[in-house]
Amino acid sequence: MSRDAMTRQMQTGQGFIAALDQSGGSTPKALRLYGVPETAYATEAEMFDLIHAMRARIATAPGFTGDKVIGAILFEMTMEREIAGKPAASYLWEEKGVVPFLKIDKGLEAPANGVQMLKPIPGLDALLDRAVAHGIFGTKERSVILGADAGGIADIVAQQMDLGLAVLAKGLIPILEPEVDINAPDKSAAEQILLAALLKGLDRVPAGQQVMLKLTIPDQAGLYAPLIAHLAVMRVVALSGGYSRDDACARLAQNPGMIASFSRALTEGLSADQSDADFNTALTAAIDAIHAASTS
């Protein structure tokens, strides 16, 4: 796999990143929305088989290509499995031209100081080595900001940067994701604090290297323009955060330079019982809408 080609695609590609990284906690909800009830599986292994089948159906769909979907974030189990007879990351890049990323976070700590920090990641070094061996380009790590607590936000950015530097040391590109909860009563104020904390934190990125940022679409359009222009930032991507696809796309379109990295908003309207033709039509419509919002 050509990392130079992947880097060029992530720096300049006109498209968005698909978030196909639902973990154990979020998988049952993702399957319910896909029309698969919890009665359809009896074990965790069966649950993960079903979610992998959904992800593989998306990845192999005709409209899912690097022309509009420039990257995809995978769950660890997805990285270890095959899609259409090839290792998942190899399939995405070699067959679809989609740059593969890996979700590495292991969930959130209990709320404190207005944030939920990342839980420890056991075996991080070995996980990153496996990612490199699989041809993964970068990682994603999510923590959550619940309110405009400057101390909590400073802590969350410091933790994200610490992890990001460890990822960079392995030759991978980290997507740092300090998500601001869309239901936070002081969301706009939290975003202003986060912007200042990130600009300060980016001073820690070694010269000549870059990270990516995955952020909630801000209330103030264009707020993150200084991050988009920052030399240490490869790309600023937007999470849908619970907004509907239409709402998320409308908000994203007001923020030039940000591109989508949607999960629920991407799979909205897809169902396990759809025919392949109907499924592909619905997925292509979603891809077209998210691509348009990402490149407007």
Closest CA to 291 of 11, 68, 65: 68
pLDDT tens digits along 55-80: 999 999 999 999 999 999 999 999 99
Opening angle at CA 239, ends 234 and 241, nearest 5: 160
Residues with active-site annotation: 177, 214
pLDDT tens digits along 91-145: 999 999 999 999 999 999 999 999 999 999 999 999 999 999 999 999 999 999 9
Cα–Cα distance between 153 and 284 in angstroms, integer? 37
pLDDT tens digits along 221-258: 999 999 999 999 999 999 999 999 999 999 999 999 99
Chain centroid to Cα 191, Å, comes to 19
- Per-residue pLDDT band at 171 (split at 50, 70, 90): very high
Helix-helix angle 245-252:276-295, to 10 degrees? 20
**Are 78 and 20 within 8 A, CB to CB?**
yes
Calculate what percentage of the chain has a pLDDT beyond 90. Answer: 96
- Residue 296 pLDDT more than 90? no
Cα–Cα distance between 98 and 111 in angstroms, integer? 35
- Residue 1 pLDDT more than 70? no
Chain centroid to Cα 38, Å, comes to 25
**Are 19 and 253 within 8 A, CB to CB?**
no
**Are 146 and 153 within 8 A, CB to CB?**
no
- Residue 24 pLDDT more than 90? no
